Each structure stands twice: as C-alpha cells, then as structure tokens.
Structure 1
Amino acid sequence: MQFTSVRIISQIIDPMVEFYQNVIGIPAVIYTPDFAEIKTPLSTLAIGSVNTLAFFGDENMAQPGTNRSAIIEFMVDDVDAKYQQIKDFVKNNLVQEPTTMPWGNRSLLFRDPDGNLINFFTPQARPQPQS
C-alpha cells in the first residue's frame, strides 16, 4: 500500500486552490471547476468542491470548514526562509511563527481559507526515542 493524497472538500474551491498554489509554490492542475490537484514529488493535495461528494453517493459525508483534528504537513528545506517568503500572505491566518518543537522539527503553523491547520516544517536534531 502507498499513501498518495489528501483531499480537502471546500465550498470555496477557487480561493483554496489559489491559496495552496501561493504557499506551496506549485501550480495546480485544474481538471474541472470542481476538482484540482497540486502534485508534489511524493504525494498530491487534491481540492474538491462540495459538488464532488454526489459522486460518492452522499453529499453530507464531508463538511467543509469543520476540520479540527488533522494537520496538513509539508516538509520544506528551510522553514524560516519559507516563512519570510509567505508571511505577508498568511499573516491573517498565522497560528505560530517558526518554532522548534520538542521532537526536533522547526514548525510554522497557519490556517488555509477553510480553517484547516497547515504545518510547514524542517527537521532539526532529533531527540532519542523513549523506550
């Protein structure tokens, strides 16, 4: 088995696609007005409108703008440099400026237009695993 993608369902697909193109720096492949993908070397971030839920048989199976349990994470070469590059763009949705976490990642946290939590991180020195 191979993990390949995360799909975000949104009522505001155009602003979501624009947001992710700006913060990730990769153009989206827009297949229809209701579905786009941003493909990275290891996985894909898919963005679908609520209209796509009908194809799965239940328009209420996902509710946009209600995520409060998952964090969408992207490893970047230098989180501090990336923050300087995007800080004006994410300033209204900033959760935490780059901070070194106890598990060794330097992390930048912000929210997308739907409120999903995004973590850009750069691994630093890792602590030894506890037995």
Structure 2
Amino acid sequence: MQFVSVRVISDDVARLARFYEQATGLAARRPAEQFAELVGPSCTLAIGSAETMALFSAGAAVPESNRTAILEFRVEDVDREHERLRNLDDAPEIVQEPTTMPWGNRSLLFRDPDGNLINFFTPVTEQARARLAH
C-alpha cells in the first residue's frame, strides 16, 4: 500500500489552490475546474470542490468543518516561514506562533482560508532529525 494524497473539500477550489501555492511554493495542477493538486516530494495535497462529493456519496465531506486533522509540512526554517506568511497579501490566521515542542520539532500552526489547520515544522533536536530521516 502507498499513501498518496490528502484531499480537502472546498466551496472555492481556485481560492484554496492559490493559497497553498503561496504557502508552499508548489504549483497547482488543475486537470478540471473542480479539482486541483499540489504534488510535493512525499505526498500530494488534493483540493476538490464540494460538488465532487456527489460522485462519492452526498454529504460524505463538508467544506469548512474540519476540526480534527492537521496538514503538516516539513520546512527548512519555521521562523523564516512565519515571517513570510505574515507578509502575504492574504496572511493566514496564526493559531500558534513558532514554538519548540517536547518531541523536538519547532512548530507553527495556522489556518487556510477554509479553516483547515496547518503545521509548518522543522526538527530542531538530534532525536527529531533522526526520527524523521528517511
């Protein structure tokens, strides 16, 4: 089995794709108006419109209602990313300023325009770097 992607459902795929392009520096592929994907080196972030849920099962996913999942991105320097994000035209809501966590990651929590929680993190201890080495 191979874990391939995480998909978020949105009422505005274009807006969310633009946000993630700015936040991650990845270019979104748009194979259809109702779908975008940002392909990174380890996983793909897919964005589907709410109308695509009818193809699966109506009501299976509801836009802007997530309060349990966190989308996590490993970055080179959390503090530098924090400064960059704060200066975007549509700066995200910061939930937690850069903080070093007990497990050795320096972490920044913020929300995308749909309210999904995002963690940019950098392993800062030897143990954390070893744990995340592939």
Instruction: Determine if contact 1:99/1:107 at 8 Å carries over to the other structure.
Output: yes
Q: Deviations over 1:66-111 (max 9, x none)?
A: 1000100000111111112221236451111111011110001100
Instruction: Determine if contact 1:65/1:116 at 8 Å carries over to the other structure.
Output: yes
Instruction: Determine if contact 2:37/2:45 at 8 Å carries over to the other structure.
Output: yes
Question: Structure 1 regions of 5+ residues with no counterpart?
Answer: none
Counterparts of 1:40 and 1:46 in 2: how far apart (Å)? Answer: 11
Equivalent residue for 1:50? Answer: 50
Question: Structure 2 regions of 5+ residues with no counterpart?
Answer: 129-134
Superposed counterparts of 1:44-123, under 5 Å:
44-56=44-56, 58-89=57-88, 91-123=91-123
TM-score by length of 1: 0.91
**1:15 matches 2:19:** no
Counterparts of 1:99 and 1:7 in 2: how far apart (Å)? Answer: 27
Figure out how many residues of one structure are paired with residues of the other and give that number: 126
- Aligned-residue sequence identity (percent) comes to 52
Secondary structure of 1:38's partner? Answer: strand
| RMSD, matched Cα | 1.4
Q: Deviations over 1:1-50 (max 9, x none)?
A: 11111000011211111110000011100111100000001110000001
